[in-house]
Structure 1
């Protein structure tokens, strides 16, 4: 090998950047374009490049470019979508940055607790979304429920103000730091079902429960959110979703069969 030629395959930073290509940062309904630019800068310093924007109030923007410093290439390649569902398409793990403690299907973890699992998923080819809400109110409950992991940054309870780009920076730093460590001891990756595959299951489940009369459309209460929380705790794999949807299909087929004849004389 030419001694003047660098071998990127032996460079841990190069390998970390490759794994970080499995991550996307999703910003929902960002109100100030400066925060988008600052987020791009925070991402690029840690090696993340994929930015998704859900209905940004103002973008493209010169303010975003100015605050991005030399990370304007991330702004140029940013993907703008009109719904959180579209931003999460193709992902296997969706991480909601939230301080909410109610209505949680998954435990609320710190970045340091959660990141090893995310890194393991990336090493095995999974797609991970890091999801952040608006500057003032964060993610909505509905947006949090679309995610199967929850993360929060522990801060000083007397002054917990953390802006959007800072939150992104903290999580991205933990990812890079962990990727540069040895995580080979982590267990084999499970074949998680994709976000949209699970969403199809929830739709199938709701339709089936309505058809058999278990779910009352005029008085649904909180049945579907509770079922969603229950299944999210399981971390459904692709094959498990196939089994559950097979049960739903068999349930409807059984319901529509003619009742057995009574042979009693």
Structure 2
């Protein structure tokens, strides 16, 4: 299984879950595969920590973090994986099938990233707004006649893949033959540069939005749509942490000039 030190850098995030029994089932699945970091975003029921379905995982449930927003929950993560189906949505970010996720996670863990695996509410899953905080949409393949899964089952399937399919690594490189078996690389790839956290990207997005308002870029009615698109764009750009800081300084200077 994936080493414990790497499993501790994978956060399981539940967005607005309605049924405490489902939260308990997720906690139990996490305990089954050795994951300990659970965050619950704006839960519907106030007494979710008392769920009896958390068999063998009451301590994990008691120590879970609660946040008011998804932005706060994933603030310290550098790779945010949203889960869902493509049956009723058109993805606005890269899509990776669950069975193809392991090499990507191995590479992220090898370069020291903190990862969030995000699940949406039982009734409709992650919204378009929720997914704007995600770098990647992870699709769990299902029969089209029954595309949705129970929250606890989806978490169990996802965590099994991460715990057993991800190759432990201390390197930031991902050899080509992990993606294309039989094709070897002669030279390792260069080490990946540190990435900005989700929280830092949100700070940059807010600043760019402020510049857009100051420059009268678009009417007030478009501000919410612009905010959504900015979050997605910054995550698709795959900036390094240094590039993020440079962009922050640039837009601060532009805003200062505009306000003068």
Matched-pair contact (CA < 8 Å) for 1:119–1:178: no
Give 1:225 deviation, angstroms. Answer: 2.8
Q: Deviations over 1:55-84 (max 9, x none)?
A: 2122545862x2121111211111111111
**Match of residue 212 from structure 1:** 215
Contact 1:28/1:53 (<8 A) preserved:
yes
> C-alpha root-mean-square deviation of aligned residues, in Å?
2.4
Task: Tell me which stretches of 4 or more aligned residues in structure 1 moved more than 6 Å.
Answer: 181-184
Within 2, Cα distance between the matches of 1:62 and 1:226? Answer: 35
Deviation, structure 1 residue 246: 2.5
Q: CA, structure 1 residues 61+214, in 2 after alignment: closer, same or farther (shift >3 Å)?
A: closer
CA offsets, 1:137-157, max 9 Å, x none? 111211111111111101011
The 1:27/1:139 distance shift into structure 2, 3 A limit, reads same
Match for residue 116 of structure 1? 103
Whole-Å separation in 2 of the counterparts to 1:86 and 1:31: 19
The answer to whether 1:140 aligns with 2:120 is: no
1:77 to 63, 70, 76: 63
Distance in 1 (CA, whole Å) between partners of 2:85 and 2:243 is 30
**Paired position in structure 2 for 1:5:** none
TM-score, normalisation: structure 1: 0.82
Higher gyration radius (CA): 1
Per the alignment, residue 17 of structure 1 pairs with 4
The answer as to whether partners of 1:105 and 1:148 remain within 8 angstroms in 2 is no
Per the alignment, residue 236 of structure 1 pairs with: 239
In structure 2, stretches of 5+ residues that fail to align are 175-188
Aligned residue for 2:252?
249
2: distance between equivalents of 1:221 and 1:88? 20
User: How far apart are 1:253 and its partner, in Å?
Assistant: 4.2
Match of 1:163 in 2: 150
Paired with 1:39 and 1:143, the residues of 2 have a C-alpha distance of 19
Note if 1:91 corresponds to 2:77: yes
Q: Is the 8 Å Cα contact of residues 91 and 129 (structure 1) preserved in structure 2?
A: yes
Q: Deviations over 1:70-111 (max 9, x none)?
A: 111211111111111221121111111122575644222112
User: How far apart, CA to CA, are the structure 2 residues paired with 1:157 and 1:201?
Assistant: 39
User: TM-score with structure 2 length normalisation?
Assistant: 0.84
Taking a change above 3 Å as real, the CA distance of residues 244 and 58 of structure 1, as seen in their structure-2 partners, is: same
After alignment, is 205-214 or 239-248 more displaced? 239-248
Partner-residue secondary structure (3-state), 1:225: helix
5+ unaligned residues in a row in structure 1: which ranges? Answer: 1-12, 258-265
**Residue 186 of structure 2 aligns with which residue?**
none
Q: Does 2:53 align with 1:27?
A: no
Q: Secondary structure at the match of 1:97?
A: strand
Q: Deviations over 1:5-41 (max 9, x none)?
A: xxxxxxxx4x622210001101111111110111011
Match of 1:55 among 29, 42, 48: 42
The aligned residue for residue 43 of structure 1 is 30
